[in-house]
Structure 1
């Protein structure tokens, strides 16, 4: 179970069902740039990167095509993963869509509210099933 955030080149109207996101770039170049700004990001599998943070992990689903139009982040654990998202947004000038809320994150004011709610919901579900 993960908190999911999608990285995109630009914001878009989610009501536009015909929207096609512009490319973020070539996979090999993106992996090179991402691993430079996030040194502990492992892309041994070029379709699926993994980063271990302080109390959390982020999986980077970059896909299996050379032209990448989005990257899905699957975030697990605790800690402060929003700082990593903010760093990526800042370095690449990308947008981040919180899949839990359906809203775009704001670079200069990334809220941790959705992340906190996800953790609370996840913890409640797992306690119920014990």
Structure 2
């Protein structure tokens, strides 16, 4: 079970999907080779041995980057597992590298530094339905 976060281009002034116009269509992130190059150069901890599915391993969490093979790259889905609030800093950094905002797909809100509500709610839900932490 993962917490899913969508990286996409979105205006800075909106706080969530409800603030976007119904006909909103985000601009592409950029060319696939350029996006992969930025990830590799600015996030040396990312494993892109399979460029369609990158991975970043943290001390008690992991992030899978569902990049795909479409060019230009429209969006990246992050599948986050584990625990610890430090993963949010990494998620926001990935978004910064790609020029994107990170959307918590469970709440419909864009993530911001220090806002841990969605991540913590996911962990509580996961622990309750799996009957175990982590």
User: How does the TM-score come out when normalised to structure 2?
Assistant: 0.83
Select the structure that is richer in strand: 1
* Aligned CA distance change for structure 1 residues 85 and 75 (closer, same or farther; 3 Å): same
Secondary structure in 1 aligned to 2:131? helix
How many residues of Structure 1 are paired with residues of Structure 2 in the alignment?
126
CA distance in 1, matches of 2:40, 2:8: 18
CA RMSD of aligned residues (A): 2.0
2:124 to 95, 104, 120: 120
Alignment of 1:104-119 (within 5 A): 104-106=110-112, 109-119=113-123
For residues 62-110 of structure 1, give each alpha carbon's deviation from its aligned partner in whole angstroms, at most 9, with x where no partner exists: 122121011111000112210102223344442111101001123xx34
In structure 2, the residue matched to 1:96 is 102
- Structure 1 residue runs of 5 or longer lacking an equivalent are none
- Structure 2 residue runs of 5 or longer lacking an equivalent are none
* Aligned CA distance change for structure 1 residues 52 and 123 (closer, same or farther; 3 Å): same
Alignment of 1:1-130 (within 5 A): 1-11=1-11, 14=18, 16-79=21-84, 80-106=86-112, 109-127=113-131
User: How does the TM-score come out when normalised to structure 1?
Assistant: 0.85
